[in-house]
């Protein structure tokens, strides 16, 4: 294996810093371990890893920001790989409302960020299959 940047051949496995912009907020993820070129410090990240990083960044931003903005909602929707109509259907509203919230033409109801957070959590950690809940007694 050779580095694409400098053609170096020595790599060290270590945590890398990935920065994601969620609306007007920056989220830094240091949880990803990758082989890093010992010579120049370059590394690669798979699309699957980037998807998870973006989902985690959405989760952090929606949880810690003082308010969820239209740009944050748009980022979350795209990270979930949904159209406005698909997101609207999943959270029980209209695509016009999603569009207006994203453009900040209309203020989001407080339940909207919570519903989107639920979708993000579901995509990050899908519910187990083959498990059922039975009422005791």
Write the pLDDT tens digit of every residue in 75-107: 999 999 999 999 999 999 999 999 999 999 999
**For residue 2, is it within any domain?**
no
CA distance 22 to 20: 6
* Domain annotation covers residue 135: no
- Residue 6 resides in a domain: no
Range of the domain at 115: 11-124
Q: Is residue 130 part of a domain?
A: no
CATH number where 18 lies: 1.10.260.40
pTM of the model: 0.86
Distance CA 97, CA 94 (A): 5
20 DSSP β-pair partners:
27
Count of structural domains within the chain: 1
Retrieve residue 43's tokens: 């590394």
Within a domain: 111? yes
Instruction: Express each pLDDT in 2-61 by its tens digit.
Output: 999 999 999 999 999 999 999 999 999 999 999 999 999 999 999 999 999 999 999 999
Q: Could you give the CA distance from residue 53 to residue 115 in angstroms, rounded to a whole number?
A: 20
Q: Is residue 34 part of a domain?
A: yes
Contact 33, 46 (CB under 8 A): no
Average pLDDT over residues 123-137: 84
Q: Is the dihedral of CA 73, 75, 72, 63 positive or negative?
A: positive
């Amino acid at each position: 294996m050779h580095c694409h940047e400098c053609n170096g051949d020595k790599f060290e496995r270590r945590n890398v810093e990935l920065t994601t912009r969620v609306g007007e907020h920056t989220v830094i993820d240091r949880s990803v371990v990758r082989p890093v070129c010992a010579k120049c410090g370059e590394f690669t990240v798979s699309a699957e890893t980037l998807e998870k990083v973006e989902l985690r960044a959405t989760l952090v931003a929606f949880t810690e920001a003082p308010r969820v903005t239209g740009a944050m909602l748009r980022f979350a929707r795209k990270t979930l790989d949904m159209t406005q109509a698909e997101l609207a259907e999943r959270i029980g509203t209209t695509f016009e409302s999603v569009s207006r919230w994203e453009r900040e033409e209309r203020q989001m109801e407080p339940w909207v960020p919570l519903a989107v957070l639920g979708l993000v959590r579901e995509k990050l950690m899908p519910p187990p299959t083959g498990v059922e809940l039975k009422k005791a007694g």
